[in-house]
Chains A and B, each alone.
Chain A
Amino acid sequence: MPSQERFAKGPIALFECMQQIPCNPCADACPRGAITVKEINDCPSLNEELCNGCGVCMTHCPGLSIFVVDYTYGKDAALVKIPYEFSPLPEAKSVVDALNRQGQCIGTAQVIRVQTSPNKTNIIWLSVPRELAMEVRSIHVMKGETS
């Protein structure tokens, strides 16, 4: 987990990939060379100074286990980027249910941007209350908010 100081500097990738499995496409995907997977079964390790939170690695990860969190986004709000492979996609500016790792609705999030990707792992940028930035990991799109 990055330190307070690192979070204060801007967006950073968080890896929820804690089991040793034979996998390394995140390391190949990072344009800044910030990710290392030494042996293919190792868990990824991040050079926090090199990472700028661009989110490129997120679209390549088969585990959909990389998220980006930016605590510098606003005074009360943080930005959370999540990978999303469901249809329909939410509409930018809409408000959606924010889900935690257990799928429980813990509040709402505003969709800031829907970044579509050619490989169909799309990235949704969410504005969430700061205290929920480490909890929100998915969304539930309500009717009338779809594109």
Chain B
Amino acid sequence: MITTEILIIGAGPAGLMAAIHAAEAGAKVLLVERADRLGGQLIKQTHKFFGSKAEFAGERGMDIAEKLINLSSDISGITIWKNAVVLGIYPDGVVTISHEGAFCTVSPKKIIIATGASEKTMAFPNNDLPGIYGAGAVQTLMNVHGVIPAKRILMIGAGNIGVIVAYQLLQAGVEVAGIVEAAPQVGGYRVHAAKLQRHGVPIYTSHSIQSAHGDSCLEGVTICRLDEQWQPIEGSEQYIAVDGLCLAVGLSPLTELLWQANCEMKFAAELGGYVPLRDANMKTTHENIYVAGDVSGVEEASAAMVEGKLAGLYVASVLGHKKDSFTKEFQTAKSQLSALRSGPASVKICTGLSKVVLEEVG
């Protein structure tokens, strides 16, 4: 059995920041990532990020990933395992991992879970036809592997992910037939939507998908208009010929490990689904388990990074690794987080958080 002070599960922006700050404080960290590369969602993001300088705003997501990966590999206290899937967390605190295909067990003093979120899907006739993809799959294919998924694509969902991936499709040379959004207005940032609109991409608000068509692969989609009660309006059907359909209908936190470990969970639609109850230091109702990033509520990489930093600093301090600058750094990170969440774009997030962040847990 392998022992470590802190086991961090997931090497997206949250996990990487947690590892960097915990190890800088002097803790021994094992960072495990199921994919064959580090960076989580960031490696697929070719666009520049919002936020402020402290969260690398104005830089492209993939470049932020590179920075964090370089920082984490420069610190000697971090051991990194790629191709390492965490399978289970047991009541005695033992964690089982499949690392490069081999089964192993790890016994950490504390665990930070930063597994991110997974994509939601959507029910409609023929939604299993080849040519229908999750937005993340489209991004992985084109931005990581350089392969175009289709020639002409319709996007479902005009949240930030939908509008951003649609723009990335245009950049890769794919024709975007339009974006379909059930709500009466675009949910993503207007500046992102404007980038698409000035290239002539139509955004069909108050519309939904009725059915996909095709024999062996997708050939077209029927969309229809929705009334104020979000019901299809008869006679408004419209056929759009496309060989690709991309679903960007939301993310839900990847919480299996938290359920397994018996952390108390609560449903918060604003945060994407069930999320763990935790205190302001990111501690769950389980004495030794902390969370950071999208797994604790789907938000943004900027917030995920700050949460990772908070969790990393705090867990290290609990284990006796406390830098002189701890109090200052910790407070700065907390005010950074509240600044990010202070605007109207974060009202929903804050409503969700008010349901699950407790003064004291356990």
The answer to whether the Cβ of B73 comes within 8 Å of any Cβ in the partner chain is no
Partner of A103, one of B200, B302, B343, B344: B200
Instruction: Flag the segment in B46-54, B80-88, B264-272 that touches A.
Output: B46-54
CA distance A94 to B170 in the complex (A): 22
Q: Are A62 and B198 in contact (CB under 8 A)?
A: no
Q: Are B302 and A16 in contact (CB under 8 A)?
A: no
Write out the residue numbers on chain B whose beta carbons fall within 8 Å of the beta carbon of A100. Answer: 198
| B32-74 residues at the A interface, CB under 8 angstroms | 47-53, 57-60
CA distance A19 to B190 in the complex (A): 7
Q: Are B198 and A63 in contact (CB under 8 A)?
A: no
Q: Are B198 and A103 in contact (CB under 8 A)?
A: yes
CA distance A28 to B59 in the complex (A): 13
CA distance A28 to B54 in the complex (A): 12
> How near does chain B come to A58, taking the closest CB pair, in angstroms?
11
Number of chain B residues close to chain A: CB under 8 A: 34
Partner of A21, one of B53, B58, B345: B345
Q: Are B342 and A39 in contact (CB under 8 A)?
A: yes
Q: Are A99 and B199 in contact (CB under 8 A)?
A: yes
CA distance A22 to B340 in the complex (A): 6
Q: Are A103 and B201 in contact (CB under 8 A)?
A: yes
The answer to whether the Cβ of A17 comes within 8 Å of any Cβ in the partner chain is yes
> How near does chain A come to B44, taking the closest CB pair, in angstroms?
16
CA distance A86 to B52 in the complex (A): 25
The answer to whether the Cβ of B104 comes within 8 Å of any Cβ in the partner chain is no
CA distance A146 to B52 in the complex (A): 36
CA distance A25 to B302 in the complex (A): 13
Q: Are B190 and A18 in contact (CB under 8 A)?
A: yes
The answer to whether the Cβ of A81 comes within 8 Å of any Cβ in the partner chain is no
The answer to whether the Cβ of A130 comes within 8 Å of any Cβ in the partner chain is no
The answer to whether the Cβ of B192 comes within 8 Å of any Cβ in the partner chain is yes
Q: Are B198 and A22 in contact (CB under 8 A)?
A: no
A42: nearest residue on chain B (CB-CB)? B343
Partner of A22, one of B171, B190, B201, B302: B302
- Residues on A lying within 8 angstroms of B by beta carbon are 16-25, 28-29, 39-41, 60-65, 85-87, 99-104, 119, 121, 137-138
Please name 6 pairs of A and B residues whose Cβ atoms are closer than 8 Å in the assembled complex, sorted by A: A19-B191, A22-B51, A22-B342, A23-B52, A87-B173, A104-B200
- Residues on B lying within 8 angstroms of A by beta carbon are 47-53, 57-60, 170-171, 173, 189-192, 194-195, 197-201, 302, 339-346
Given A19-B345, A39-B339, A63-B191, 12 further pairs, Cβ under 8 A = A20-B344, A21-B50, A22-B302, A22-B340, A28-B58, A60-B48, A61-B48, A64-B191, A86-B171, A87-B171, A101-B194, A119-B48
